[in-house]
């Protein structure tokens, strides 16, 4: 299958990062976002990322110029033509994703692939919204995309071997290492990570230690680069809560119950770094 032209839907940090590594791999990228300001910021973020690589000597100027020339921006995916692969990277909202996939089904050429960057929503349910469930796959990048090497590939119930092989090859072309997860809530990374972050919230709520002490203990005691509460702030507490709810609902085990303190912070609008306040102030 050809993968020379991809459309990335969502120009936020994740979408812009995916677009950047695709451009670095020599792919032609159409970046789509309904928000014009968000779209412009996403394009600027990509160009700044490419410039930084040139300054660090990791990308030559000619490849930078070629990458920028291969980037197009649109406020509607329907404006992108001859698309081989679509990668959806919008917020973790299943209804929104299913609506987008209905549209992408009409945009991507026959025989093309529809991928989602979802971090927790079952691929099989998203695929059911399309006319080509065999061509739908999970392609979960880690944040920040240009730095983190891992991509989780998640096969839905109908995902074909050809779809999997094509997307794996494309991810490797982007310089990523892939792992394969079954289509269960949270996949591999978040199935393990989110309960740890949630447990850190319980530890804070129960007064086991201060946020600083909990994070320092985990950094120095388990050699993690960032403490769990600070990491939750960087991910976004609303996102952490949403994934915890997906795990709790999808697996039906009380051990995945979201911490009440986490829910309270989200109710207060304290989403972490992006809102200026979470477990820490920014």
Using DSSP bridges, classify how beta strands 28-32 and 71-74 pair: parallel, antiparallel or unpaired: parallel
Tokens standing for residue 187: 């996949």
Tokens standing for residue 89: 């990277």
Q: DSSP character for 9?
A: E
- Catalytically active residues, by annotation: 119, 140, 152, 190
CA–CA distances in Å: residue 21 to residues 55, 68, 158, 173, 233? 17, 12, 28, 9, 25
Q: Which long-range contacts (CB under 8 A, 24 or more apart) does 37-46 make?
A: 38/11, 38/12, 39/11, 39/73, 39/74, 39/75, 40/73, 41/11, 42/11, 42/12, 42/15, 42/16, 42/73, 43/11, 43/16, 43/71, 43/73, 45/13, 45/16, 45/20, 46/16, 46/19, 46/20, 46/71
């Amino acid at each position: 299958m050809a993968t020379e032209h991809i459309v990335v839907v969502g120009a936020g940090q994740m979408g812009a990062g995916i677009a950047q590594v695709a451009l670095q791999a020599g792919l032609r990228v159409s970046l789509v976002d309904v928000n014009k300001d968000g779209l412009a910021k996403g394009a600027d973020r990509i160009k700044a990322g490419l410039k930084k690589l040139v300054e660090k000597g990791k990308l030559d100027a000619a490849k930078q110029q070629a990458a920028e020339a291969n980037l197009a921006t649109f406020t509607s995916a329907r404006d992108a033509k001859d698309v081989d692969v679509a990668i959806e990277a919008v917020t973790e909202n299943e209804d929104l994703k299913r609506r987008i996939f209905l549209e992408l089904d009409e945009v991507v050429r026959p025989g093309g692939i529809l991928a989602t960057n979802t971090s927790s929503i079952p691929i099989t349910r998203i695929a059911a919204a399309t006319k080509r469930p065999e061509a739908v796959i999970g392609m979960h990048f880690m944040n920040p995309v240009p730095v983190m090497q891992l991509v989780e590939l998640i096969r839905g119930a109908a995902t074909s071997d050809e779809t999997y092989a094509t997307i794996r090859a494309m991810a490797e072309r982007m310089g990523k290492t892939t792992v394969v997860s079954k289509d269960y809530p949270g996949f591999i990374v978040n199935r393990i990570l989110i309960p740890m972050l949630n447990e850190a919230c319980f530890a804070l709520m129960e007064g086991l230690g201060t946020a600083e002490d909990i994070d320092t203990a985990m950094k120095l005691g388990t050699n993690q680069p960032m403490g769990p509460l600070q990491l939750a702030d960087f991910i976004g507490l609303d996102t952490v809560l949403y994934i915890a709810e997906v795990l709790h609902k999808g697996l039906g085990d009380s051990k995945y119950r979201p911490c009440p303190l986490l829910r309270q912070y989200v109710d207060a609008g304290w989403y972490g770094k992006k809102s200026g306040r979470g477990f820490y102030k920014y």
